[in-house]
Structure 1
Amino acid sequence: MRTLFGLFLGALVFTAHAAPPIQRLSLPPGFHIAVYSDDVPGARELARGPDGTIYVGSNNGRVYALTDRNHDGRADTVHVLARGLRNPIGVAFHHGDLYVSAVDRIVALRDIADHLDDPPKPQLVTDRLPDKSHHGGKFLAFGPDGKLYVPVGAPCNICAPPLPFAALWRMNPDGSHRELVARGIRNTVGFDWQPGSGKLWFTDNGRDMMGDDLPSDELNRVDRLGEHFGYPYCHQGDTPDPEYGKGHPCKDYAPPAAKLGAHVAALGMRFYTGTMFPARFHGAILIAEHGSWNRTKKSGYRVMAVRVKGNRVLQQVPLVTGFQQNERAWGRPVDVLPLPDGSVLVSDDLAGAVYRVTYSPPH
């Protein structure tokens, strides 16, 4: 979709910029990565409609829809569904409607699949969310219970804010009956439900300014409603906060299922439910690591696969690396989305792209 000049026409957007250097990326043998679309500036959360349309939130006020009408594994059309929203990073598709986060509110684009070229005006679902911009972007997902799950991050690096901050909530699709799911969460930008057990797992970003190697980002599992995961008192399950930890022993809080590494900025995560990838990836958690900003040597900037068995984390292995070389980043993964054919999409808000990861046995 690259052109020699910028052009805006109806709901389609074409821009002039260099193609992402995906030849720099490394994957395990048999895995391949290709550009699905490189015309989605600020691409953040991904969602899929039943007809195969891919919806993309962004950090630039826009919401996109990508269509691959000739089924060649690359989007042939980019639709702009909304403009001027406040940090609409989160998108979730539900019963024909696209739900979009916008910091202090959630809106819906009704019957969106039939209106990609003439998108409807966003309809308010709820405006009962804090308007703080710090950690104000919200990943969205509908759970197996039909509820809309919405995080509210801490409005700071480290502080002890009252609820509804530093927590994960769920509500009815119309915005009613808000209920606490988990608390003590600094900022989750990715969660999913484990096939079989139905348990909710989520990533959480650790605090800054405790040095290069502390604390680790977390992979967590919710075992009971209202569970407390430690923020701001305890980090990574075993490290008291130097400012808020006194009188709040780590044993009082739920420990992480796994430590993911300091400052990797673990964001979007999904369970891999396909069969295209080798058996060792079946049921694994795929995590997009956006990458560090305040570490002497960069960490993250990759897609990881976390193998799990029931409640136990077995192994963490890289799936896609190479978004930064020699301490210079050209891409920053944000979200992962397994598709029905077993391939996986990866969004990148720095390169403004979505990639597709596939597998075929090496010869």
Structure 2
Amino acid sequence: MRRYGLMACLAAVLALAVPSAGRAAPPVERLRLPAGFHVAVYTDQVPSAREMALGARGTLFVGSMTGGVVYAVTGGPTGTARVRVVARGLTMPVGVAFHDGDLYVSDVRDIVVLRGIEDHLDDPPKPVVAVSDLPWQMGDHGWKFIAFGPDGRLYVPIGAPCNICDVGHRFGKLMRMNPDGSGREDIAWGIRNSVGFDWQKGTGTLWFTDNGRDLLGDDIPSDELNRLDRPGESFGYPYCHQGDLADPRFGRGVDCRSFTPPVLKLGAHVAALGMRFYAGRMFPASYRGAVLIAEHGSWNRSRLAGYRVMAVRFGPDGAVASYTPLLDGFQEDEAPWGRPADVLPLPDGSVLVSDDLAGAIYRVTYRAP
């Protein structure tokens, strides 16, 4: 995002993300999917819905951008979903992660935890601080997508507090730590703002999305899908973008080949957010191992881009074979009615999609035509 004053920034986000009172049900019949795929509303009672996490007993936890609340959704696809608020009064609690029975929630400067949450959905415990004093500065990208890795450690991105600026070693990075915040380690650099990451099944390799900078025109730079092959890699920000584009201010005299390039350029201003690997059995075999990406959609482009869920599929050699829409149609005639924010495969092979503009969760299923 362009650098605003704090109140102006929040006002712009609120205008996009908070459903107005009395808004009609999301028009899912307008959504487009490949043959055999279907979509239905899981719930439309989660205003400003962002990251999703699944509890051990099937509870769906959902963070929010502007509401300051965290939701717990029960009932599942076979019944009417019941939505509870399990935390209030937080600051942009976008990120939620479930670990050993506890729910971890990002709160800009801290990570808070609700202990034994699935035993107390009707009377949730008060959030307590698990991780404190995370790098923070007034500006952009203070919210955090969070997740626990296969190593049992908590991964937390620290976004750049600006559109483009010299972030030093304090911002523009990805950290990991123990659940109590001890053992903090910076593992990746040169990241403007990652709002989605996951670990590839079988290899345990971390992949993540990154949003490109603004104000270089409609078509550059591209958002990125990245892979971290070893701790300590740098992905270029603020010096280079999309792997091969030197920044006009910070990239003078810099060789972009000295940074790790993206696996895939996703397109300029699509706002790639949540991403997960698909390992289910419901979708066709070509989707197994694919990366699913929620593209929140542009706000500063002459014609809109994004507003869809994309699938990145790979060939037998591991190279990208295709990058195609799975769920499209959240905007018509340059007027968006929905903005995908996260994707979450379920144990039955279906996939949930959160939408912070419509305040809804959708479920995507497949049945061979």
Q: Normalised by the shorter chain, which TM-score bucket?
A: over 0.9
Partner of 1:221: 227
Cα distance between partner residues in 2 of 1:220 and 1:205: 11
Partner of 1:237: 243
Deviations 1:291-331 (A, max 9, x none): 00100000000000001246522210100000001000000
Partner of 1:6: none
Partner of 1:352: 359
Unaligned runs of 5+ residues in structure 1 are 1-14
Contact residue 103 and residue 131 of structure 1 kept, 8 A: yes
Partner of 1:11: none
Residues 54-133 of structure 1 correspond to what in structure 2 (within 5 A)? 54-59=60-65, 60-68=67-75, 71-73=76-78, 75-133=80-138
Cα distance between partner residues in 2 of 1:325 and 1:153: 31
Cα distance between partner residues in 2 of 1:169 and 1:154: 14
Contact residue 297 and residue 305 of structure 2 kept, 8 A: yes
| TM-score (norm: length of structure 1) | 0.94
Q: 1:235 to 1:311 in 2, by over 3 A?
A: farther
Contact residue 42 and residue 77 of structure 2 kept, 8 A: no
Letter aligned with residue 135 of structure 2: P
Cα distance between partner residues in 2 of 1:360 and 1:251: 44
Cα distance between partner residues in 1 of 2:244 and 2:254: 11
1:54 Cα deviation (Å)?
0.2
Contact residue 37 and residue 74 of structure 1 kept, 8 A: no
User: Which deviates the most, 322-331 or 304-313?
Assistant: 304-313
| TM-score (norm: length of structure 2) | 0.92
Deviations 1:217-237 (A, max 9, x none): 000000110100000000001
Count of residues in Structure 1 that have an aligned counterpart in Structure 2? 346
Equivalent of 2:42 in 16, 29, 36: 36
Runs of 4+ that moved beyond 6 A = none
SS at 2:286's partner residue?
helix
1:108 Cα deviation (Å)?
0.2
Cα distance between partner residues in 2 of 1:37 and 1:141: 23
Cα distance between partner residues in 2 of 1:207 and 1:128: 26
Contact residue 206 and residue 218 of structure 1 kept, 8 A: yes
Two-structure CA RMSD over aligned residues (Å): 1.1
1:163 Cα deviation (Å)?
2.0
User: Which deviates the most, 271-280 or 72-81?
Assistant: 72-81
1:72 Cα deviation (Å)?
3.8
Identity %: 66
Is 1:270 the counterpart of 2:281? The answer is no
Cα distance between partner residues in 2 of 1:328 and 1:219: 27
Deviations 1:264-315 (A, max 9, x none): 0000000001010001111000000000010000000000000124652221
Partner of 2:195: 189
1:185 Cα deviation (Å)?
0.1
1:162 Cα deviation (Å)?
2.1
Letter aligned with residue 316 of structure 1: Y
Letter aligned with residue 67 of structure 1: T
